[in-house]
């Protein structure tokens, strides 16, 4: 068992953990990053599958995502725009594919009116929400006690309008059934992107990609940390002490030599003593670590009310982007289709064409009941409803199945159950003694996105530097 001493141990080498580690290094702190997997990046994973470069995890960057945009620029990476020339496609309840341009789906005038009015209402509500503190809104409790679906159905009895409004935060973002999370959670999702209108605007929220893949962000951040990033190191236990709170043993204080709070993180191969720990992974994985002493009651309770959404990201690569020849942009939506949304996801400078589709929550459960062949057939059939029969014959086909990933367990991210956000949200980022928390799943702006992960990484590093200075210590 190798023994290491650092100022800060970071658990998880995703965008959040690596951002925090780099900031702390710059502030003069020594760090060790312990990563469970054999690679860095977490939910950012760019790989070559059957000769096709695929973004298995996160990929898109939107114009409001300053923290991510700054990091991309600072790392010297280039971006390119998602292909969007031509018509989008919408499949309505009659199963007919209709072309459209702009943001409004080609629906009946009364449905369009309902969608427009409720969108305005939602934008007004979202404008009153501070994404960093949605629980502070005077209506937070009431809005957290009603499901997103139930609230929408109170606004209109037009089912097609409800389904189209619902899926922006439901299947497309939180990737849970719309009865399983609250109106407040939905408003937070929208507020994190600036407005509900931004969230439903594919040209905004899915604006750009990074040439060569978004995983370069964590790869380059990790490169700067060199040997201080240790792979294949799932943290099994975390001893901690907080003398100011009167808790037990002085974990880690020996190395820091301060007599202050400390931690000892243990993997199968390493013991890292440090003054602070950053848990930089999805909150649903905290219970994979044995905390000694246990985390406080509040955390025990709170963490049980957070769960991962579930979506399959489907990649279909064709010898050419055939839909463009038909004047289609590749952008396609339908709350009635197995793949509720799909886009042109062709790589920068690639002659081949790639479509990406998404199969969410209960639809994802359903297709995982099928054999791999049947699942592929059903999903490609759904894509063919948007793009025609040629969509059924990709040269490369791949499903990103994050539900099977032990160190993630779903996609895209985690959210509270009904009522959980106003009850617990304010405590999610609050440190416990020397243990700090950072992850996209607890961000305000950039919530559930790489931008939010980076924001949380910066925030937690600042908090640790401040806590250290307040205690009269330097890095």
In the complex, minimum distance from the CB of residue 306 to ligand FDA, in angstroms, rounded to a whole number: 13
In the complex, minimum distance from the CB of residue 37 to ligand FDA, in angstroms, rounded to a whole number: 4
Beta strand 290-292 with 237-241 is: parallel
CB-wise, 44 or 180, nearer to ligand FDA? 44
In the complex, minimum distance from the CB of residue 82 to ligand FDA, in angstroms, rounded to a whole number: 10
Helix pair angle (66-74, 216-225), 10° resolution:
60
In the complex, minimum distance from the CB of residue 214 to ligand FDA, in angstroms, rounded to a whole number: 7
The Cα 34–Cα 393 span in angstroms is 42
CB-wise, 35 or 242, nearer to ligand FDA? 35
The candidate with the shortest Cα–Cα distance to 333, out of 87, 4, 132, 15, is: 87
In the complex, minimum distance from the CB of residue 453 to ligand FDA, in angstroms, rounded to a whole number: 4
In the complex, minimum distance from the CB of residue 434 to ligand FDA, in angstroms, rounded to a whole number: 17
What are the residues whose beta carbons fall under 8 Å from the beta carbon of 96, sequence distance 6 or more?
Answer: none
CB-wise, 119 or 360, nearer to ligand FDA? 360
Task: Tell the residue number behind the tokens 């990484």, with chain if given.
Answer: 457
Cβ–Cβ under 8 Å, residues 314 and 339: yes
Helix, strand, or coil here: 262?
strand
In the complex, minimum distance from the CB of residue 59 to ligand FDA, in angstroms, rounded to a whole number: 4
Cβ–Cβ under 8 Å, residues 294 and 271: no
The Cα 182–Cα 168 span in angstroms is 14
Query: b/e string for 348-364 if b means 16 or more Cβ within 10 A?
Result: eeeebbbbbbbbbbebb
Find the largest Cα–Cα distance for the chain.
71
CB-wise, 156 or 192, nearer to ligand FDA? 192
Residues that bind ligand FDA (CB under 6 A): 11-17, 34-37, 42-44, 57-60, 234-235, 280-282, 285, 288-289, 313, 400, 402, 407-408, 411-413, 439-440, 448-451, 453
CB-wise, 101 or 290, nearer to ligand FDA? 290
CB-wise, 29 or 310, nearer to ligand FDA? 310
CB-wise, 57 or 92, nearer to ligand FDA? 57
Helices (H), ranges, 257-330: 297-302, 322-325
Residue 228 tokens, joined: 């201080």
CB-wise, 156 or 400, nearer to ligand FDA? 400
In the complex, minimum distance from the CB of residue 152 to ligand FDA, in angstroms, rounded to a whole number: 24
The Cα 254–Cα 160 span in angstroms is 63
């Amino acid at each position: 068992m190798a023994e290491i001493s650092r100022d800060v141990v970071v658990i998880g080498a995703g965008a959040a953990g690596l951002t925090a580690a780099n900031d702390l290094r710059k502030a003069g702190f020594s760090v060790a990053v312990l990563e469970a997997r054999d690679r860095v990046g977490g939910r950012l994973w760019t790989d070559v599958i059957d000769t096709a470069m695929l973004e298995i995890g996160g990929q898109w960057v939107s114009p409001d995502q300053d923290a991510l945009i700054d990091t991309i620029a600072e790392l010297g990476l280039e971006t390119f725009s998602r292909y969007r020339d031509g018509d989008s496609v919408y499949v309505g309840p009659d199963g007919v594919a209709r072309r459209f341009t702009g943001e409004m789906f080609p629906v009946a005038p009364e449905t369009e009116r309902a969608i427009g009015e409720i969108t305005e209402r939602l934008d007004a509500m979202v404008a009153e929400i501070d994404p960093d503190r949605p629980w502070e809104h005077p209506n937070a409790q009431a809005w957290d006690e009603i499901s997103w679906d139930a609230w929408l159905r109170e606004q209109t009895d037009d089912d097609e309008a409800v389904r189209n409004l619902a899926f922006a935060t439901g299947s497309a973002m939180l990737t849970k059934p719309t009865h399983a999370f609250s109106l407040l959670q939905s408003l937070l999702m929208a507020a994190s992107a600036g407005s509900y209108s931004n969230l439903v605007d594919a040209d905004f929220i899915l604006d750009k990609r990074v040439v060569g893949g978004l995983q370069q962000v964590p790869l380059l951040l990790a490169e700067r940390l060199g040997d201080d990033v240790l792979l294949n190191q799932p943290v099994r236990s975390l001893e901690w002490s907080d003398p100011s709170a009167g808790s037990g043993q002085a974990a880690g204080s020996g190395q820091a030599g301060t007599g202050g709070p400390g931690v000892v993180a243990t993997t199968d191969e390493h013991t890292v003593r440090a003054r602070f720990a950053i848990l930089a992974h999805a909150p649903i994985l905290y219970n994979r670590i044995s905390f000694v002493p246990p985390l406080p009651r509040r955390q025990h309770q709170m963490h049980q009310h957070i769960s991962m959404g579930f979506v399959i990201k489907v990649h279909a690569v064709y010898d050419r982007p055939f839909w463009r020849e038909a004047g289609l942009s590749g952008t396609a939506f339908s709350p009635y289709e197995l793949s509720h949304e799909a886009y042109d996801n062709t790589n920068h400078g690639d002659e081949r064409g790639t479509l990406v589709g998404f199969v969410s929550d209960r639809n994802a459960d359903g297709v995982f009941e099928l054999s791999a062949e049947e699942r592929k057939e059903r999903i490609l059939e759904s894509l063919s409803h948007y793009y025609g029969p040629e969509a059924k014959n990709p040269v490369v086909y791949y499903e990103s199945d994050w539900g099977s990933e032990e160190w993630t367990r779903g996609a895209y991210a985690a959210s509270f159950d009904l009522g959980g956000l106003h009850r617990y949200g304010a405590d999610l980022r609050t440190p416990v003694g020397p243990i700090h928390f950072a992850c996209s799943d607890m961000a305000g702006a950039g919530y559930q996105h790489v931008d939010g992960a980076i924001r949380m990484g910066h925030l937690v590093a600042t908090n640790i530097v401040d806590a250290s200075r307040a205690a009269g210590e330097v890095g």
